[in-house]
Amino acid sequence: MNQENTTAWITSCKLNESGWLVNGTMSVPNDPANRHCADVLQWIAEGNTPAPEFTDLEIAANAQSSINSESLEYLKSTDWYITRQAESGVEVPADVTTARAAAREAIV
């Protein structure tokens, strides 16, 4: 007798922080009392395997995004050296100049 829990509605499933991301939009918690969780567990029992949370491309993109964020933050935090040099002629320390150049190059 059908009690409603089925797996036919699951078209994609990958791991996420709380359980699974199903069909691209549903964040299903790993809570057995959740009806969707019960379906996902059944779907796994039927021999299916959830995809990893991130693909290799996404991992690379996330890493680059972090590098971009950190580099932008560093440039913002040292912009005052440039302003000071323009307004008063005080030289930018060499290590800062080098680090700023590296930060600019790191941003993609």
Partner 1 sequence: MTKARENSDYTGLAADIVAGDTAARAGRKNLILNGSMQISQRGTSFTGMTSSGTYGLDRYSHSIASAGTWSITKSSNAPSGFASSHRAEVTTAGLSGTGSYISLSYKIEAQDLQSLGYGTSGAKTSAISFWVKSSNIGNYSVWLYKYDGGRTISKTVTIDTANTWEHKSVVIDADTTGAIANDNTSGILLRLYYAAGSDYTSGTQQTNWGSGGDACDSSQVNLASTIGNYIEITGLQLEVGSVATDFEHRSYGEELALCQRYYHYVNQGNEQFNHIGSNYTTSNCYFKVQFPVTMRANPTGASTATANTYSAGSNIGANKPVTAALATTLSAQCFTSSLSGTAGYVSHIDLASGSITFDAEL
Tokens of 34: 């959740």
Q: Does 12 bind partner 1 (CB under 8 A)?
A: no
Q: Can residue 11 be called a binding residue for partner 1 (CB under 8 A)? A: no
Among 10, 36, 43, 103, binds partner 1 (CB under 8 A): 36
Q: Which residues, listed in sequence order, are joined to residue 28 by a DSSP beta bridge?
A: 20
What's the chain's Rg over C-alpha atoms? 24
Question: To the nearest whole angstrom, how small is the minimum distance from the Cβ of residue 32 to partner 1?
Answer: 8
**β-strand partners of 22:** 13, 26
* Residue 98 engages partner 1 in binding (rule: CB under 8 A): no
84 Cβ partners below 8 Å, 6+ apart?
90, 92
Asked if residue 72 binds partner 1 (CB under 8 A), the reply is yes
Instruction: Give how far Cα 83 sits from Cα of 7, 77, 79, 80, 102, Å.
Output: 61, 12, 6, 5, 19
Closer residue to partner 1 in complex, CB, 64/98: 64
Stretch that binds partner 1, among 29-37, 47-55, 78-86, 88-96 (CB under 8 A): 29-37
List contacts with partner 1 (CB under 8 A).
Answer: 1-6, 8-9, 16-18, 25-29, 31, 33-37, 65-66, 69, 72-73
